[in-house]
Structure 1
């Protein structure tokens, strides 16, 4: 049971930080026993990379939706552009769902940290 820092993000996710101290079970220099305990928690005032990617995809989706609404107000002359934007929105929805599922799996402790 060796000790490590834990980095905790504002979104609730976390990751292991630097190694801090050996436990009395590990006698080999430079090795850890494999069990990790928290020495201290370091608060990180930002979202984790996964949440940042989700937020980026949501902003891109909102921009596409706004573009579609603007084109629809102007009539039918942008039909091909509107169809293309709907394809982009579908792809973004799928990516957001996949990233959200991965985030939930991490928060439940099923995935690896």
Structure 2
């Protein structure tokens, strides 16, 4: 592996870690944690936005190559949105959307 690829991966990983860790650390030391400001709302929505962005970026080339993948991708988006709306967590909706995509793909293959 080339060293510049490794260095870039480490840099992106560190920035990603700090991007997630520092707001939690700063929020823990805030004087009034019950007050919900614009920054907290923004940070709370970053998780679902990043998962949706990753899903779009990774699925568009696949859909352009094989149009049968459109329906499972839409199922994955729907499961992600509904489950995030219900749980307000990003962990289970991500796993459920992957499961929904896989089930929809398998069902489509059997039809």
Q: TM-score range by the shorter chain?
A: 0.3 to 0.5
Q: Normalized per residue, which structure has more strand?
A: 1
TM-score (norm 2): 0.37
TM-score (norm 1): 0.37
Q: Normalized per residue, which structure has more helix?
A: 2
